[in-house]
Amino acid sequence: MKKEIGNVLFKSINNKNNSIRLITSTNNSSNENVGLLGIKELKTPKGWEDLFHKKNEKINEIRDHIIPIKINQESTIEQLKETLYYIDGISRELCDLMDPAQFVMNVIPYGPHKIESHKAFLKMSDTVNRLNANSDLYQLLLVIRDHKHYHQLPNDHQLFLNEMIKESEVNGINLKPKEKYEIMKLKDEIFAQGSMFIEQSLNSYKHPPNVTLNIPYSSLVGHLPLKYLQQLPPKKPDGNVPFIPTDYLVAGILKYIPDPNIRYSVHRLQSISNCYDSVLNHLVQLISKRYQLAKTLGCENYSFYELKNKLLKTPTQDLSKEYKEKSDEELNKLIEIKKRMEPNNPNNDKIFSFDLPFYKNQMSKEFYKSHSLDKEELSQYFTLENVLNGLNIIVNKLFNSQLKIVPMNNGESWDKSVIKFNLLRNDENKTILGIMYLDPWERQDKATGCVNHPIGLGYKKFKILKNNLKNNLKNEDDDDDEYNDEYNLPKCSITCSFTQNNFNEPLKSKLQHSDVETLFHEFGHALHTLMSRCNFQHLCGTRGPTDFIEIPSTLMENFSWNQDLLQQFAINSMGKPISNEMVTNLKKTRNLFQGIETQEQISLAFLDLKLHTVETDKNTSTNIGDTNMSPAQILSTLHQQQIGIHGTVSNFFLTSFNHLFYYGASYYSYLLAKDYSKRIWINHFDSGKQLNLEKGQFYQQNFLKPGASIDPSLILNKFINKNK
């Protein structure tokens, strides 16, 4: 049996190159079951129901307490503020259930916790709908907004109030009961279709296209890396492999097999197979319901509805065109390689969808070779342990803090490989700032990709809520410090799907630099969650508009390319830091496909906006609006226009693009945020030359701490509009 991960790590590390190392706590955890994610109600899956009842009861109690409050012109400013804290108290109770439920639904494999969290989430969604439709609460908000003291309220209080009013209005508070009912119904349907879309797309590996293709084993071996070869069925006596086009194997073939006929055949199987019909149908239904929702709420379409509260105000605003030239240049280089490798192919002057992964990999291989870079050698420098040390160096430099690995309590974790960290201030008391879980490795039943989930936020626990509600609180086991005028301890989880390649010492597993960049991205979100401290939970941490909250994460990507930092944490097993030359060449790979990849992002952003702008065709279940095209066909057209890639995008790709549910009309956020964060990196951190406490604390105080409780454009002004 492996020992508890937190206790044994890092003992063997040689410290000579680096003074800042992750520290591991050796405290033994007690045996008491603390509940999943440290939530005491979740000791068993049935606990979700208890959690729902407890939270729902508190919500009703707060609601019943504030609705009779008569705010009138005689009310004091303190009374106005208190009322707002109560209203946020409601939203806090909601999120105490909905945040962890969303995490469990998206991350934890299918099982009792997933089923029960889903049920609890649906019930709580119903509570949310009822609150949004509560006209007494809405009237209370309006009275405060029209109050003579309104303008004396602190800015975050005004912002919170206006957000709540807006929220009620976009949820149809002013509509007639019949229309209100319609909205509630549509929202339920959107959630149901979206959940089915995600659920089925995550499980698509269980239902590959029901066809086999005979491929000569000899054309695969020598090209396909071992991890793919191991997944192939046994070779038949005639030398062929009866190939089943699972997503994983198709991805391997498209990237590594030089024979264009094989690539074309497997791509085509994936494109024409009807095994994705059901999941695509949920996608189209989801989009259709969103369109109806926007219309019922008086918006032209869903994109307009969604973008009302974003940095970008309308979907017609043009997205960057500056990368087209670079993208063309890169495409020409790919064509050059194709002409060289397929001299007799009459179509060797075009790159098709089924060519792109192969020729990108080819070009990248040639680039690595000509710059004496070796992926295997590079990965020696990026063990997970080193990368975590890198994050630790950053929090120390910028925030005088440290990440400390601590043992998981009994019942807290969902998999034995999850690592738990405390983020601590380097003061005398080692004040704890937040808790972060990291679930690093890919597993069969786990979604691919990386994501950060907030589980709890750093809102202020106003005593006032206790003083007035304590007599009615029915839960005697409530912690005494539940309302103590201090901040709630934030908690988040980063989930990744990196390939584990050291099973005895998981933290010695080697990562690719692209994994490093991804982990840094998610850590940027984590810092936003863990370092935010706000009066209102509704405005805390990563609660802001989607295009705003991608800024700290895309900003953090820059840190993973910084020469000084890399040389402090990217150290091989001989204790030798990565060389200057290697870093310089590595940095060149960052821009290798910058043009094409940006154009791909632009295509996806356009697809997302397009799908959420037009009405879905009522006659077919898979086509979108007046275009008479399927989502895959729309994306293929965009690829042709934006990048010059021919052929069709496979339906599989569409089913795996689950941002269409999570982001719905705001996928462009990545592009916009990347642009802003690049300017912050250059302006504020002097392109990485000024990674110090002064810069870090300014960033913490003015960006991370306020979360969304200051207008995002005011926050950005502090970092971007400097005359530098």
Q: Write out the residues near Zn ion by the rule CB under 5 A.
A: 553
C-beta separation of 427 from 444 below 8 A = no
**Would you say the C-alpha torsion 47, 48, 49, 52 has a positive or negative sign?**
positive
**In the complex with Zn ion, which residue's Cβ is closer, 116 or 557?**
557
Question: At closest approach, how far in Å is the CB of 452 from Zn ion?
Answer: 7
Residue number, 374 or 675, with CB nearest to Zn ion: 675
Closer Cβ to Zn ion, 503 or 662, answer by number: 662
Least distance from Zn ion to the Cβ atom of residue 556, Å:
10
Which of 652, 594, 658 has the alpha carbon at shortest distance from 353? 652
354 with 263: CB under 8 angstroms? Answer: yes
- Cα distance between residue 332 and residue 350, in whole Å: 9
CA distance readout (Å), 284 to 25, 194, 204, 436, 615:
50, 10, 17, 36, 10
Closer residue to Zn ion in complex, CB, 120/604: 604
What are the beta bridge partners of residue 422? 404, 435
Nearer to Zn ion, 402 or 452 (CB): 452
Distance CA 115, CA 669 (A): 31
Minimum Å distance from CB 552 to Zn ion? Answer: 9
Compute the distance between CA of residue 596 and CA of residue 12 in angstroms, rounded to an integer. 43
In this complex, which beta carbon is closest to Zn ion, that of residue 208 or of residue 707? 707
Cβ-proximal residues to 298 (8 Å cutoff; 6+ apart), any chain: none
**In DSSP terms, which residues pair with 460 in a beta bridge?**
487
Q: Are 681 and 688 in contact (CB under 8 A)?
A: yes
* Full DSSP string of 549-599: HHHHHHHHHHHTT-HHHHHHH-B-TTSPBPPHHHHHHHHHHHTTTHHHHHH
Rounded-to-10 torsion of CA 668, 669, 671, 674:
180
CB of 680 to Zn ion, least distance (A): 15
Query: Please, are residues 652 and 250 in contact by the beta-carbon 8 Å criterion?
Result: yes
**Which amino acid makes up residue 404?**
K
> Shortest gap between Cβ of 116 and Zn ion (angstroms)?
28
Closest by CA position to 305, among listed 320, 291, 285: 291
CB of 548 to Zn ion, least distance (A): 12
Residue 212 token pair? 């086999």
Q: Which two tokens stand for residue 77?
A: 């400013």
User: For the chain, how big is the Rg over CA atoms in Å?
Assistant: 27
Quote the least distance from Cβ 607 to Zn ion, whole Å: 19
Q: Are strands 432-441 and 491-498 parallel, antiparallel or unpaired?
A: parallel
Contact 490, 457 (CB under 8 A): yes
Min separation Cβ 554 and Zn ion, Å? 7
Q: Which is nearer to Zn ion, 381 or 663 (CB)?
A: 663
Closer by beta carbon to Zn ion, 488 or else 553: 553
> Which of 553/603 has CB closer to Zn ion?
553
52/523 with CB nearer Zn ion:
523
Which residue, among 702, 102, 163, has the nearest Cα to 454 in the 3D structure? 102
304 vs 67, 424, 624, 660, CA distance in Å? 33, 42, 18, 16
β-strands 491-498, 23-24: how paired? Answer: unpaired
Please state, in angstroms and rounded to a whole number, the distance separating the CA atoms of residues 402 and 296: 50
Residue 673 CB, nearest distance to Zn ion (Å)?
A: 8
Name the minimum Å distance from CB 387 to Zn ion: 17
Query: Looking at beta carbons only, is 187 or 525 nearer to Zn ion?
Result: 525
The 8-class DSSP code of residue 644 comes to -
**Minimum distance, C-beta of residue 585 to Zn ion, in the bound complex (Å):** 27
Q: Nearest Cα to 521, choosing from 494, 541, 547, 548?
A: 494
By beta-carbon distance, which residue lies closest to Zn ion? 553
Is residue 250 within 8 A of residue 208, CB to CB? The reply is no
Toward Zn ion, which CB reaches closer, 659 or 679? Answer: 659
The rounded distance, in Å, linking the Cα atoms of 561 and 582 is 12
The CB-of-271 to Zn ion minimum distance in angstroms stands at 29
Instruction: Select 353 or 560, whichever has its Cβ closest to Zn ion.
Output: 560
Minimum CB distance to Zn ion, residue 553 (Å): 4
Contact (CB, 8 A) for 6 and 408: yes
Q: Which residues 6+ apart lie within 8 Å of 205 measured at CB?
A: 246, 247, 248, 444
Shortest Å distance, C-beta 521 to Zn ion: 6
- How near is the Cβ of 429 to Zn ion at its closest, in Å? 32
Which of 303, 553 has the CB closer to Zn ion?
A: 553
| Comparison of 553 and 599: residue with beta carbon closer to Zn ion | 553
Can you give the three-state secondary structure of 111-141, one letter per residue?
Answer: CHHHHHHHHHHHHHHHHHHHHHCCHHHHHHH
| Nearest distance in Å: CB 590, Zn ion | 18
Q: Choose between 127 and 553: whose C-beta lies nearer to Zn ion.
A: 553
Would you tell me the crossing angle of helices 580-590 and 356-370 to the nearest 10 degrees? 160
Nearest distance, CB of residue 703 and Zn ion, angstroms: 15
Nearest to 468 by CA among 38, 75, 89: 89
Burial of 343 (0-12, 13-18, 19+ CB in 10 A): exposed
The secondary element (H helix, E strand) that includes residue 451 is: strand 451-456
d(CA 211, CA 636): 24
If the CB atoms of residues 200 and 553 are measured against Zn ion, the closer one turns out to be 553
- List the beta bridge partners of residue 243: 213
Q: Which is nearer to Zn ion, 334 or 549 (CB)?
A: 549
Instruction: For the CB of residue 686, give the shortest distance to Zn ion in the complex, in Å.
Output: 24
